[in-house]
Chain A
Amino acid sequence: MTDWFLQQLINGLALGAIYALIALGYTMVYGVLRFINFAHSDVMMLGAFAAFYLTPPVAGMLGEQSVWTALVVILLSAAICAVIGMTIEFLAYRPLRKRPRLTVLITAIGVSLFIEFTGQHEKVFGAATKSFPKLLPSRDIVIGALHLSSNDIVVLVLTAVLLAAMWFIVQRTKIGMAMRAVSYNEQAAALMGVNVNGIISFTFGLGSALAAVAGIFYAMRAPGIDPLMGIQPGLRAFIAAVLGGIGNLPGAALGGIVLGLLETFFGGMPGLSNYRDGIAFAILILILLFRPAGLLGKLQTEKV
């Protein structure tokens, strides 16, 4: 029983860490622009595909399944996705900055569908599932009845490092201060000399880079990758962001971990596994009903 518990705990933490990475992107974009970037989950998918195509040539130069190959592939994929995220913001969202939020939301759905269906076209990625190359030498660590994959531990450690880095950027650097200022009051920030467009662009880039890393980690644990792989983890991560309090960085991390754990534990119970897909949404509905500001968020009253 304790073995089962520990096993689920590790699995849940690894899954939750990935949700947390994606949720950070949602929450940062929500913080500065106040809208849900539906295309975020597709940027994550693009990150996994970037790694899929980059791994063979990089491995040719730096060796198969070496730490350096993994690092270079992850960094390059993150850079590619950062550029993609900034481009999406520039082309699709920036012209709509002053429009109603619903218009931007519908556009975001449009962008998301565009990436998914373009990706499914046979001349791009194709709809079939592809097996993801082994980036790192993976080893099963067996402690008693526990089976730990070394990849899960790498994912956990790297996520913790990235979360700390995010916290540092937002709280301790000048550009982070500008991000917080834009989030608090865009106009006042502009009057104080903050380059609002630049900051929003940077936020999208940062969020998309995190999404790319999350996409690679997700692909490492999943049986394969396909152009629609982002949808389910993307929705879960969004729910995680809401659970933690949208716009709140530690909240997104906490929400991701909590959601990953709940899903793994409920999904692991006999008789409930079929309903695994519904659990996240049930949590979302409960949290919005009883604590709409999320676990760590502050409730804002609407002014007339």
Chain B
Amino acid sequence: MRGREKLFLLLGIIAAIGLSFASGAFNRYYLGIVIDVGINIILAVSLNLINGHTGQFSLGHAGFMAVGGYVAAKLTLVCGASAWIFLPALLLGGGVAALAGLAVGVPSLRLRGDYLAIVTLGFGEIIRVIFQTSEFFGAATGLTGITRLTTFGWAWGLAAVTVYVVACLVNSTYGRGFIAVHDDEIAASAMGINPVRYKVTAFVIGAFFAGIAGGLYAHHKGVLTPSGFDFIKSIEIVVMVILGGMGRTVGVILAAVILTILPELLRGVAEYRMIIYSLLIIGLMLTRPQGLFTFGKK
């Protein structure tokens, strides 16, 4: 099992970097969408660790993404943009986002269900307000002129790493604890599992990858505005996880791909996009609350 996963990881990274060299041959518009898909896979899979595998409903993922994006972008803006600084910038962004995850996780994980959802929403909003008022991060206008360093190879290579890390973690002996906490917290703690530690771990790891995705996003779009990381952004990621089926890695990846491409296909009816989105959520919850791409056993 483990050998197969490693092989997938290697193949994924090699394919990503290999295709990246040929990316000049593709249409820039399509290439941009494909990179978006890679970034969204990172976001959805990392949120899936929190929401799906560990069962802690978080509505603040865009906040962690914002932290990673701003930190990474500020670093490349200050130190000058080069391929050598990009990886450290991404890692730093992820690291600071992970710290934010720790700061959010430790106090709020004593709460459950809808309370947790509201508190994470609140933290996401507070993070946004901080960026919006901070002159250092460009206040309401945000950061502009970020060098576009994100390539196909970076986005999909890191997406492969994310999927690998999350899948291996959840399938490891340690990682069974996440699922135990998800299934029954009280029974899990009776078995000697510390639910709070698992929840915080899930938050920190999830936030780390969200931060990486934020860094990729910043260096893909070239601009960052605080309003881009609002509640709606968090909801978009949550919908990917719900649509794919909470705790189903393959389903969530599929959902991330579809939900990124779908709006581009729906350009003609862009004004209905969010209406369709919300009806999708309601319809899904009424008919298939377990998600769309959930075939066979977990």
Contacts and interface: CB of A to CB of B under 8 A. Distances in A.
A113 interface: yes
A269 interface: no
A218 interface: no
Contacts of A112: 278
Interface string A89-101: 0001001100111
B266 interface: no
B286 A113 contact: no
B285 A106 contact: yes
Contact of B125 (A113, A117, A281, A289): A281
B14 interface: no
Instruction: Provide the main secondary structure of the chain B interface.
Output: helix
B235 interface: yes
B114 interface: yes
B118 A284 contact: yes
A251 B110 CA distance: 23
Interface string A237-272: 011001000000000000000000000000000000
B275 A118 contact: yes
Contacts, number: 103
Contacts of A87: none
A96 B118 contact: no
A2 B126 CA distance: 32
Contacts of A111: 278, 282
Contacts of B80: none
A6 to B, nearest CB: 29
B281 A102 contact: no
B281 A110 contact: yes
A117 B274 CA distance: 6
B145 interface: no
Nearest to A280: B122
A292 B112 CA distance: 11
Interface string B97-119: 00000000001101101110111
Contacts of A109: 235, 281
A191 interface: no
Interface size classification for chain B = 35 or more
Given A107-B281, A111-B278, A281-B123, A101 B114 contact: yes
A1 interface: no
Contacts of B119: 284-285, 288
Contact of A289 (B107, B121, B272): B107
A238 B117 CA distance: 13
B281 A117 contact: no
Contacts of A121: 271-272, 275
Nearest to A124: B275
Contacts of B108: 285, 288
A129 interface: no
Contacts of B118: 36, 238, 242, 284
Contacts of B289: 99-100, 103
B194 interface: no
Nearest to A246: B115
Contact of B107 (A99, A114, A120, A285): A285
12 contacts: A36-B114, A95-B286, A102-B114, A103-B285, A107-B282, A110-B285, A113-B274, A114-B278, A117-B275, A121-B275, A242-B118, A284-B119
Given A36-B117, A114-B279, A292-B110, 19 more contacts: A102-B113, A105-B57, A106-B238, A106-B285, A107-B286, A109-B235, A109-B281, A110-B278, A112-B278, A113-B235, A113-B278, A114-B282, A117-B274, A117-B275, A121-B271, A274-B129, A278-B126, A284-B119, A288-B111
Interface of A: 35-36, 92, 95-96, 99-107, 109-114, 117-118, 120-122, 231, 235, 238-239, 242, 274-275, 277-278, 281-282, 284-285, 288-289, 292, 302, 304
